[in-house]
C-alpha cells in the first residue's frame, strides 16, 4: 500500500486508538488539540499535532467542531485521509462534504448515507419503511412545545427527548411529568448544539426495562455476544440489521457502521444506526479477531472486503468479551465528573486484558471540559463466567490516585451473582432523577 497520512479529527482515547491502527498499517499520523488539551497524552502518540485556533480563540468543545479549520490543517500539512472517530463531527454531513470537497478521503461512508443515518429521525423513518420495528416517536424534529406535550399525552410518561444528530447520551433527557418538558427540551437542545453543532431534538416513548446497563444514558458495560436473548430475537436483530444495510446500500459502501436495537422481552426495536466507529467496537474485535479501525483505514485507501478477508461467511465468533468504561467520577455524589492530576497509577495486566486509553498514566491531567471516560478495560475469555471473573480481577488491580473513579461501582455490578445470566440488578442513576431500576444488560450480537 502506498504511503498515506491520516489526520484524526478527534481527541482522547479514540484518537489514540486510531493512531495505533494507522501506525500498524504503515500510515503517518496527525492529531489536533484544543488549548485545554495542550498537555493531553494522546498528542505524544502521533507523528505530528496541531492546535485548533489561537490560544483562547475557541472553547473546549468548539475547537473540535470547527470543521473548516480542521480541513485547512489537513490540507496545509498534506494529509490525504481524515478519520472523524466517534462523537464531535463524526456524523456531521457538512464536515464529511468539506473533507471530500478539499480533495481528501473521509474515512467513513458516502455523504448521502451519513445524511440519512446521522439524522436519527430520518433513520427511524427509513427503518419503518423497511418494516423494522421502532419505538413510537415524533415524525420529525420537535417543532414546538405543543407537539411535545401532545406526544407525551398520547403515549404517556415517561418519554425521552434525544438529539437528532449524535449519541453517547449527549442531548438526551428523560421526562417523567408534564411540568419538566420545557426545561428538559431546552437543556437537551443546548447540550446537542454544544456537542454536535446542531440543536435539533425529537421525542420517543421511554422504555423503562430494556436490555441495557447504563448510567446517564451511556452504556458503562458492554459484552459480546449479547446474552440472555432468545434465538428468535437474535435472528430478528441480525436480519433487521442486514435488511437495513441493504435497504440503504450500506452493504456496497464497505465501511464500518453499527445498527442499534433495544430489546424488551421478545420485542426488538431499532433505535439508530451510527455510520461510524462505535465506542464499544472493542468487544466485536475481541470475539472476531478483526481490527475494525485498521480495516476502515485500509478500505478508505482502496482495499476491498474480499481482499481483507471480511466476507460475511469468513467472519466467525470465538469466545466472549466484556468492556467496562472506567470513568473519572464520584459515585457517592450522583456520579459527578471528577478532574485533577493522576498522582498514582497502576494498571491491570495479564492474559485477556486490553486497555484502550489516552490519559491513564502517572501525571496525567484529567480535564473537566470533556467526557469522563478514562480507560476502556476490555477482557476476553472462553465463556461468559470466566470473562466476567477476569474483568473483576482486572478492575481490582487498578490503582488510580488523585481523581475518583467508578471502579468500585463496576466491580459491585459484576460481582452480582445474577450478572453472568444477563439479568443483573444495578443502580441506574440519572443525575436529575436519581432513579433506581432494573436494567438486564447491553451487548453486541
Given the residues 215, 276, 298, 325, select the one marked as catalytic.
276
Q: Which three cell numbers stand for residue 389?
A: 471473573
CB atoms within 10 A of CB 34: 23
Cis peptide before 262, with omega less than 30 degrees from 0?
no
Cis-peptide into 225, omega within 30 deg: yes
Q: 143-147 long-range contacts, Cβ below 8 Å, gap at least 24? A: 145/181, 145/182, 145/185
Report the relative pairing of strands 81-83 and 105-106 from DSSP bridges. parallel
CA angle 333, 206, 219 (to 5 degrees): 50
Residue whose C-alpha is closest to residue 119's, from 273, 277, 261, 237:
273
Q: Is 262 buried (19+), middle (13-18) or exposed (0-12) by CB count in 10 A?
A: middle
Q: In whole angstroms, how far apart are CA 312 and each of 110, 194, 268, 369?
A: 21, 39, 23, 41
d(CA 311, CA 290): 12
C-alpha to C-alpha distance for 254 and 304, rounded to whole angstroms: 7
DSSP line for 309-360: T--GGG----SEEEEEEEE-EEGGGTTEE--EE--EEE---STTEEEEESS-
Q: Is 17 a catalytic residue?
A: no
Question: Which residue's C-alpha cell is 423497511?
Answer: 130
Residue 435 to residue 205: CA distance in whole angstroms: 17
d(CA 109, CA 137): 26
First to last CA, the chain: 33
- Beta-bridge partners for 324: 221, 377
Task: Work out the widest C-alpha separation in the chain, in whole angstroms.
Answer: 60
Q: How many residues in the chain? A: 445
131: CB partners within 8 A, 6+ apart: none
Whether residue 213 contacts residue 234, with contact meaning beta carbons closer than 8 Å, is answered with no
- Residue position matching grid coordinates 474485535: 285
Q: List alpha helices for 197-315, DSSP H.
A: 231-247, 281-288, 292-300
- Residue numbers annotated as active site: 276
Amino acid at each position: 500500500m502506498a504511503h498515506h497520512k491520516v489526520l484524526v479529527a478527534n481527541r482522547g482515547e479514540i484518537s489514540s486508538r486510531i493512531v495505533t491502527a494507522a501506525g500498524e498499517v504503515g500510515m503517518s499520523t496527525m492529531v489536533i488539540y484544543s488549548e485545554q488539551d495542550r498537555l493531553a497524552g494522546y498528542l505524544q502518540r502521533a507523528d505530528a499535532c496541531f492546535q485548533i485556533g489561537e490560544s483562547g480563540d475557541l472553547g473546549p468543545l468548539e475547537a473540535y467542531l470547527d470543521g473548516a479549520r480542521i480541513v485547512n490543517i489537513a490540507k496545509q500539512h498534506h494529509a490525504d485521509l481524515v478519520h472523524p472517530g466517534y462523537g464531535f463531527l463524526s456524523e456531521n454531513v457538512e464536515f464529511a462534504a468539506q473533507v471530500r470537497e478539499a480533495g481528501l478521503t473521509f474515512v467513513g461512508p458516502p455523504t448521502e448515507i451519513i445524511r440519512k443515518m446521522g439524522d436519527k429521525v430520518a433513520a427511524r423513518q427509513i427503518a419503518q419503511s423497511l418494516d423494522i420495528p421502532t419505538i413510537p416517536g415524533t415524525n420529525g424534529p420537535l417543532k414546538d412545545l405543543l407537539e411535545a406535550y401532545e406526544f407525551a399525552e398520547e403515549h404517556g410518561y415517561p418519554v425521552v427527548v434525544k438529539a437528532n444528530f449524535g449519541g453517547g447520551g449527549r442531548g438526551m433527557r428523560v421526562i417523567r411529568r408534564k411540568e419538566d418538558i420545557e426545561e428538559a427540551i431546552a437543556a437537551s437542545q443546548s447540550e446537542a448544539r454544544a456537542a454536535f453543532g446542531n440543536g435539533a431534538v425529537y421525542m420517543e416513548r421511554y422504555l423503562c426495562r430494556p436490555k441495557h446497563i447504563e448510567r446517564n444514558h451511556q452504556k458503562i458495560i458492554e459484552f459480546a455476544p449479547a446474552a440472555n436473548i432468545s434465538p428468535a430475537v437474535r435472528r430478528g436483530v441480525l436480519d433487521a440489521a442486514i435488511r437495513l444495510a441493504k435497504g440503504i446500500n450500506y452493504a456496497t459502501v464497505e465501511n464500518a457502521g453499527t445498527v442499534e436495537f433495544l430489546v424488551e422481552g421478545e420485542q426488538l426495536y431499532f433505535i439508530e444506526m451510527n455510520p461510524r466507529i462505535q465506542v464499544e467496537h472493542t468487544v466485536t474485535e475481541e470475539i472476531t479477531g478483526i481490527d475494525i479501525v485498521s480495516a476502515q483505514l485500509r478500505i478508505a485507501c482502496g482495499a476491498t472486503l474480499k481482499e481483507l478477508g471480511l466476507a460475511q461467511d469468513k467472519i466467525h465468533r470465538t469466545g466472549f468479551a466484556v468492556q467496562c468504561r472506567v470513568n473519572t467520577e464520584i459515585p457517592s455524589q450522583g456520579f459527578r465528573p471528577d478532574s485533577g492530576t493522576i498522582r498514582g497509577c497502576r494498571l491491570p495486566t495479564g492474559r485477556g486484558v486490553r486497555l484502550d486509553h489516552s490519559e491513564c498514566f502517572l501525571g496525567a491531567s484529567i480535564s473537566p471540559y470533556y467526557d469522563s471516560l478514562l480507560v476502556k478495560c476490555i477482557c476476553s475469555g472462553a465463556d461468559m463466567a470466566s470473562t466476567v471473573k477476569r474483568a473483576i480481577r482486572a478492575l481490582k488491580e487498578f490503582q488510580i490516585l488523585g481523581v475518583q473513579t467508578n471502579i468500585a461501582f463496576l466491580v459491585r455490578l459484576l460481582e452480582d451473582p445474577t450478572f453472568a445470566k444477563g439479568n443483573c440488578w444495578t443502580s441506574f442513576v440519572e443525575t436529575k432523577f436519581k432513579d433506581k431500576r432494573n436494567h438486564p444488560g447491553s451487548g453486541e450480537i
